[in-house]
Amino acid sequence: MARTALEQTRERVVPEHYQQSEQAALIHLLHTATYRFAAPFTTGKDVLDYGCGTGYGAEMIAADARSVEAVDVAPDAIAYGREHYARPNLEFQVIDAGGPLPFANGSFDSVISCQVIEHVATPDAYLREVVRVLRPGGTLVLATPDRRTRLLPLQRPWNHFHLTEYSERSLTRLLTPHFVTVESYTMGGKRSVLDIELRRTRRLKWGSLPFTLPIIPNAVRIKGIEVLGKLKRRVLPPRNGQERTSRTLLESDVSIGKGLWPSVSLVAVARRG
C-alpha cells in the first residue's frame, strides 16, 4: 500500500523534508524543542497532543508516556501519523474544527498544544476543552510564535493561516482565567542559529506591512499576502530537492527558559485547579 505523501508547508512539518534547507531544519528544531521541554509533564502520564500535525511530536512523547492520544483536524496528517509513528500506546484521531473533543471529562494528566492557538478563532472555547479533559492538577504545555519578534505593534499576522499572534503578556492574559497557575517561558538560543528565523520574519514583517495594518480588511490582508507569496516564488529559483543545510543544527542551539531574548516562540505551562 502506498504511504501518505504530504506537502511541506510552514504550518506542517514533514519529517522527510527536515534537511532540505537550513530553514526547514530550524523549524523542525523549534518544534521538537517544545516536546523535549514537556517531558517532565508527560513521562508516565496520559497525554493529549491537541493539534498533533503529522505526529512526530506525539511519537517523541509516547516513548516515555503511559498513553498518548494525538488529534488534528487534518485527515491527511492523521493518516501520515498512523503510517509512520505506530506505537502500542499512541492513538491518532481526526477531530472536528471547533467541536468538542471526543474524550470524557478528566481523561488526561497533560495536554500539549504546539503551534496551534494562533490558528484558533475561539481560543477561550479551545482552552475550556483543555480544562475539561484535564484531570484536577493536570498541566497544559502550550507553544506559540512570539509576536514581538515577528510583528510591529498592532500589526496583524503576515502568515495568513494565523488569526492571532500573542506577546508574553497577552498569552498570559488569555490563559489566566482558565488555570490556577500560569508560568511563562520564551524560546531563545544560539544567536547565529536564531538569526536564520529572525532574518526571515524581519523580511516578511516589513514586506507585508501594506497589507497587515490593523485598518486593512481581512480579505485584503489575505489576498495581499498571497500575491506577495506568488511574487517571491517567481523571483526566487525553486529548490531542487537536493539542497542541504550548510551547518549541523544541534538540540543545544535552541533553549527554553525565563526571559530569553530574542525569543522566537512563547511556551506556557498552565495548571488546572
- How many of the other CB atoms lie within 10 Å of CB of 104? 9
pLDDT, position 24: 84
The answer to the question of residue 240 being in a domain is no
Indicate whether 7 pLDDT > 50. no
The answer to the question of residue 244 being in a domain is no
pTM of the complete model: 0.89
pLDDT, position 16: 58
Show Cβ contacts of residue 109 under 8 Å, excluding neighbours closer than 6 positions.
Answer: 41, 45, 46, 47, 134, 135, 138, 139
Q: Convert the pLDDT of each residue in 10-64 to its tens digit.
A: 455 565 556 667 888 898 899 999 999 999 999 999 999 999 999 999 999 999 9
The answer to the question of residue 99 being in a domain is yes
Domain with 119 in it: 15-235+255-271
Mean pLDDT within 89-111? 96
pLDDT, position 223: 93
The answer to the question of residue 1 being in a domain is no
The answer to the question of residue 4 being in a domain is no
The answer to the question of residue 76 being in a domain is yes
pLDDT-based confidence at residue 240 (cuts at 50, 70, 90): very low
pLDDT, position 232: 72
Among 86, 238, 129, 201, CA closest to 209: 201
The answer to the question of residue 231 being in a domain is yes
The answer to the question of residue 245 being in a domain is no
pLDDT, position 116: 96
Q: CATH number of the domain that 183 lies in? A: 3.40.50.150
* Number of domains composing the chain: 1
